[in-house]
Structure 1
Amino acid sequence: MNLTQHAAPHRAATVVDLDPVASASALISSLRSRSAETDALAKLPDETITDIEGARLFDLVVPKIYGGLQASLDTWMDTVVQLGKGDGSTAWTVGLRAASTWMFLTAFPKHVVDDVFAISRKLSVASVLVPRRVKTRRVDGGVVIEDGLWGFNSGVLHAQWDLLGIPILSEDGQIVDRGVALVPTSQVTPMNDWNTIGLRGSGSISVTAKDVFVPSERIAPLSKILREDYACTHLRDAPLYRIPLIPLLATNLVLPALGMAKAALALFVEGIGKRGIAYTTYDRQDEAAVTHLQLGEASAKIDAAESVIRRSVTALEASGAREAERMTLDERTRIWRDAGFASQLIWEAVNMLAGASGGSLANVGNPMTRLWLDVRVAGLHGAICTSTTMELFGRLLAGKKPNSPLLV
């Protein structure tokens, strides 16, 4: 049965005019009210998933021809930031699911995308580009994943498809490229290994796969993706689907923490008129000069991080609007560097606010404590580690090539 001819027209009929940023903002209070439940479950509660689906936030980057919102990257950013004000795990899940969906849409040709939309009532994709271990073999018509393990598979607990990094082998079994394999989540085994101090609700578990056949049409070579040689020829008219992968993924990782930092600043300001400073004559923290200095520095760092990220978003959108001209290596590496730097600024700001919040920070139920831990864990992602991102750009300034296979 040919599923492709009916998929897109059917989905297109569901397009509605929604404001995802306003929808995300409307969820902040509900998300905060479920914080204890979210952490206890170590995944998003069903009510949160229902809210996200009701607001169509998982459709953020789905093309309009498939009934999606096809939001701009600027709207994508603002939506995830708003969610971060309510719950970091929700923002992380929505942001990474958006990136995974975008990668699927750009990496595969129309007939594969159409088939997936025909099979799945809702498009729900998670991803892990780098496996912890994987062994594959070529067979007629595709590849068999004999054994594989992929960690930090954010969003997979609520997804129907998983994009998993695999090696691409030559006929004699040599690795000639890396690729992403589109696998139904029903064919991977989730592991109960997500027990963390922060972002607990993201449920970023590991998954394994054994003896899973992947047809050739559901394997996309990473070398083409990294060169923006995207297979989505039917989406070429939309700038969103021409943006370079790596700087987009790096920038996206910072968005949840930016929302959390804004929430931490507001929470700190709310409390300084209600508590004093121990062992001083200050009955109110907001009377102390040190508090004013802390507020000034923390807010400046948050504002600076946002300015850096918005500059990256503007550059990425401009790159997508240029049909023939690729973003330069310097530009792509700088945006990656800036993602790491913005993440560092956010952590420094939140750490300062948390440290100035007094002994109550030791309480597990303190909202500031949760924000502090969530921001710390978000910043631990290897793709935005500052020692890595700074070196990448520093090598370019020193006249050398960046030492990452993801920059080509």
Structure 2
Amino acid sequence: MSVLSSVRALLPEITGAADDVDRTGSVDPLVIERLHDAGYFALLQPPAYGGLDADPDEYLTATRELSSACMSTGWLAGWLAVNNWGLSVRDERVLQEIWGADPRTLLCSSYAPTGRLERVDGGFRLTGRWTRCTGARHASWLSVAGLLVGSDGAAQDFLAVLLPASDYTVVSTWNGLGLRGIGADDVVVTGALVPEHRVFSWLDTVFDPEVPALQRLPQPTLYTLAGTIPILGAAQRLLELRRTRDDRPLSRVAMARSDVELSLRQISRNVAAQVECVVAGGYPDAELMLRTRRDQVMASDRGWRAVGVIADDPRSGVDETLLERIRRDVETARMHVASNVDQVLSVVGRHAVGLDVDDLIW
């Protein structure tokens, strides 16, 4: 049985539990275990540690369908799964530390550079607090960003840091209007000693030619889509409930459905183009990267608007409790930095007229 088929077999159970997830503010750890059993978290994991080296489209489709069943579950699972991706470019020692004893180990993350690193004997000293670390209580490793600060106090580099649970504390802070089950709590690190092999520069990444192609995709691609695909899944759930009487070509519902389908096609096209590029040994250029980012952020906006179309006219027997929950979930999801339309389109616009852009925002 394929991973996608195994995930689909879980959807009735996940759909049935969605109200409880919203009420209790948590996804049952047994659901995470069943997703492990289905192979979902292995989709983007490094092949050397049990990963499947799957096509990104399989991850995106599975995440979208999970989110259609329960957006909290889809968002939580999607972020925990994407945090397994891209680590093949890291030092082999840290990969062994994470997955050597347990290939099911999960990571939570936050890439706001709110940590401070200082060089010390044996590596670095890290202190910081990171907000909204989705799934922090389901994970036993943390991936965060920090600024390397010199003796003069000036920032020298932008670094990614990996830490085991023994080096950080999870502080219960998540109380979102929607996505109530994602456990996006704060994580605090106080003076943790981090060895050199767990710290990596994002400004000077070099890819080993032996790293699988999937693991060499540009970092923003899957991370930004992890914040968009759940919105599209939730929108599709509501649009399906209105299919029977709102298929007139010019109805608002039919147009919203077309917008969501267009977004999914654009995402699929752009990711396939990036995969083709890295498989051939290249790296996506600015044109492809910015087109990908533009279409991704517009997909978030279209999904949000599609949910609004149903919410504005919730006839045809749409369950009010379901509609209210999805509306809250989507409103919360679109606040994620990955869905900042104005910010992204301003970068795309500057590139279109020949101005330099900061590639870290892609």
- Normalized against structure 2, the TM-score is what? 0.92
SS of equivalent to 2:53? coil
The yes-or-no answer on 1:342 pairing with 2:299 is yes
SS at match of 1:152: strand
- Cα 1:105/1:198, change in 2 over 3 Å: farther
Q: Which residue of 1 aligns with 2:251?
A: 293
1:122 aligns with 2:96: no
State the partner residue of 1:351: 308
Contact 2:46 2:86 in 1 (8 A): no
Distance 1:326 1:404 in 2: 13
Larger radius of gyration: 1
Q: What is aligned with 2:263?
A: 305
Give, in angstroms, the shift of residue 360 of structure 1.
8.9
- Counterpart contact for 1:235–1:241, Cα < 8 Å: no
Which whole-Å deviations, capped at 9, do the CAs of 1:130-157 have from their partners, x for residues lacking one? 14x3333221111112x31111111221
Contact preservation (8 Å) 2:123, 2:193: yes
Which residue identity lines up with residue 138 of structure 1 in the other structure?
R
Give the letter for the 1:392 counterpart. Answer: V
**What SS is found at the alignment partner of 2:189?**
strand
CA distance in 2, matches of 1:190, 1:198: 20
% same residue: 24
User: CA separation of 1:83/1:172 partners in 2, compared to 1, >3 Å: closer, same or farther?
Assistant: same
Instruction: Determine the C-alpha separation between the residues in 2 that align with 1:83 and 1:62.
Output: 19
Report how far residue 359 of structure 1 moved: 12
Q: Is 1:58 the equivalent of 2:28? A: no
Instruction: Indicate whether 1:111 and 2:93 are aligned.
Output: yes
TM-score, scaled to structure 1: 0.82
2:344 corresponds, among 389, 394, 398, to 389
Go from structure 1 to structure 2 and tell me whether the alpha carbon gap of 1:343 and 1:102 turns closer, same or farther (over 3 Å shift). Answer: same
Deviation at 1:261, TM superposition (A): 1.5
The 8 Å contact of residues 84 and 91 in structure 1, kept in 2 or not, is answered as yes
Q: Take 2:316 and 2:325, find their aligned partners in 1: how far apart are those partners?
A: 14
Please say if residues 109 and 144 of structure 2, whose CA atoms lie closer than 8 Å, have aligned partners that are also in contact: yes
Selected match of 1:330 from 277, 281, 287: 287
Is it true that 1:374 corresponds to 2:355 in the alignment? Answer: no
* Structure 1 residues 259 and 308: CA distance shift in structure 2, 3 A: same
Structure 1 residue 394, shift from structure 2 partner: 0.3
Question: Is 1:27 the counterpart of 2:1 in the alignment?
Answer: no
CA contact (8 A) 1:194 1:205 kept: yes
Q: Does the CA contact (< 8 Å) of 1:152 and 1:204 recur in 2?
A: yes
Structure 1 residue 319 corresponds to structure 2 residue 302: no
Asked if the contact 1:21/1:82 (under 8 Å) is kept, the reply is: no
Distance 1:48 1:342, change over 3 A: same
Q: 1:406 to 1:390 in 2, by over 3 A?
A: closer
Change (3 A) 1:158 1:239: same
Deviations 1:83-115 (A, max 9, x none): 112111121122212221113333x12232123
Structure 1 residue 357: Cα displacement: 0.5
Deviation (angstroms), 1:290 = 8.4
2:212 equivalent to 1:254:
no
Letter in 1 for 2:31: T
User: Structure 2 unaligned runs (5+)?
Assistant: none
Instruction: State the SS of the aligned residue for 1:212.
Output: strand
Q: Match for 2:118 among 110, 118, 137?
A: 137
3-state DSSP of counterpart to 1:206: strand
Q: Decide whether the 8 Å contact of 1:126 with 1:162 is kept in 2.
A: yes
From 49, 57, 61, the counterpart of 1:74: 57
CA distance in 1, matches of 2:73, 2:325: 13
User: Aligned AA for 2:264?
Assistant: E
Within 5 A, what are the aligned runs for 1:129-168?
129-131=111-113, 133-145=114-126, 147-168=127-148
Amino acid at match of 2:71: G
| Partner SS, residue 200 of structure 1 | coil
Instruction: Give distance in 2, aligned partners of 1:43 and 1:185.
Output: 20
| Contact 1:37–1:45 (Cα < 8 Å) also in 2 | no
Q: Which runs of 5+ in 1 are unaligned?
A: 1-17, 273-285
Query: 1:337, 1:390 within 8 Å by CA — same for their partners in 2?
Result: yes
1:85-96 to structure 2, matched below 5 A, reads 85-96=68-79
